C-alpha cells in the first residue's frame, strides 16, 4: 500500500472542482460534496510530488526563525522599553503598548495612531543596546511618523550612536 499524505478536507457546495493548498505545513483540500473520498485520495496522490515540494518549502521558511517564547520576549523588551521611554517621555504622553511577532525583514513596527509598537521576536538574543535602538526608533515615530531628516535629527540627539547600533544589528 502506498503511504497516503494526510490532509484536511473541507466540503464546499459552491465548488466545481477539487482545490489543493499547502499552507504552514498543512495540506488542505476543498472539494464539492459529490466527489467521493476515494477520488479525493487519488487526487492527492497524483499531486504528491507537488505537495512534498510545497511542504519542504514551508519547513525551510520556518527554519529562518529562531524559536522565542512570546512572554519571555515581552518581559525582556518591556524592561528595555522602560529604560528607553524616559528619553522621549516629554514628547509622548503615555508609554506605547508593546507586542511581539516574528518578522522577516523588519525589527519593529510603529502604529503611532493606535498607540502601540510591535517588536520582532528575533531581537531576543541581540545585545540590549541594539534592542534599545529599535525601541527608540519606534518611539520616535510617535513624534515623526516618517524617516525624514527631522526623524534622524531627533534620533541622533537622544542616541548619538544610533547609526552604529543599527549597523551592528543589521550585519
Ligand atoms: Zn522607522
CA of 73 to the centre of ligand 1 (A): 20
Question: Does residue 75 register a pLDDT over 80?
Answer: yes
163 alpha-carbon distance from chain centroid: 24
CA of 70 to the centre of ligand 1 (A): 22
d(CA 170, CA 161): 15
Question: Does residue 29 register a pLDDT over 90?
Answer: yes
Question: Does residue 82 register a pLDDT over 90?
Answer: yes
Task: Please tell me whether residue 91 adopts helix, strand or coil conformation.
Answer: coil
CA of 52 to the centre of ligand 1 (A): 38
CA of 147 to the centre of ligand 1 (A): 6
Cell digits for 154? 531627533
Residues 92, 142 contacting (CB under 8 angstroms): yes
- What letter does residue 25 receive in the DSSP assignment? T
Which residues, in sequence order, are CB contacts of 20 under 8 Å at separation 6+? 27, 28, 29, 43, 44, 47, 50, 51
CA of 53 to the centre of ligand 1 (A): 36
CA of 69 to the centre of ligand 1 (A): 25
CA of 134 to the centre of ligand 1 (A): 9
pLDDT of 95-149, one tens digit each? 999 999 999 889 999 998 999 999 999 999 999 999 999 999 999 999 999 999 9
What are the angstrom distances between the C-alpha of 155 and each of 37, 75, 114?
Answer: 61, 25, 22
pLDDT confidence bin for 4, thresholds 50/70/90: confident
CA of 59 to the centre of ligand 1 (A): 30
Sorted by where each starts, the structural domains of the chain and their CATH numbers stand as 8-63 (no CATH), 70-170 (3.30.2010.10)
Cell digits for 112? 503611532
Amino acid at each position: 500500500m502506498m503511504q497516503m499524505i494526510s490532509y484536511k478536507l473541507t466540503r464546499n457546495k459552491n465548488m466545481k472542482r477539487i482545490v489543493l493548498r499547502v499552507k504552514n505545513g498543512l495540506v488542505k483540500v476543498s472539494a464539492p460534496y459529490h466527489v467521493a473520498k476515494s477520488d479525493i485520495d487519488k487526487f492527492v496522490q497524483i499531486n504528491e510530488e507537488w505537495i512534498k515540494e510545497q511542504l519542504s518549502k514551508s519547513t525551510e521558511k520556518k527554519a529562518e526563525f529562531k524559536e522565542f517564547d512570546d512572554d519571555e520576549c515581552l518581559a525582556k523588551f518591556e524592561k528595555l522599553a522602560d529604560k528607553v521611554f524616559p528619553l522621549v517621555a516629554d514628547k509622548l504622553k503615555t508609554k506605547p503598548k508593546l507586542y511581539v511577532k516574528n518578522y522577516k525583514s523588519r525589527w519593529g513596527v510603529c502604529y503611532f495612531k493606535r498607540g502601540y509598537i510591535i517588536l520582532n521576536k528575533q531581537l531576543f538574543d541581540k545585545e540590549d543596546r541594539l534592542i534599545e535602538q529599535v525601541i527608540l526608533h519606534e518611539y520616535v515615530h510617535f513624534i515623526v511618523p516618517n524617516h525624514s531628516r527631522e526623524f534622524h535629527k531627533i534620533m541622533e540627539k537622544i542616541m548619538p550612536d544610533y547609526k552604529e547600533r543599527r549597523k551592528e544589528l543589521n550585519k
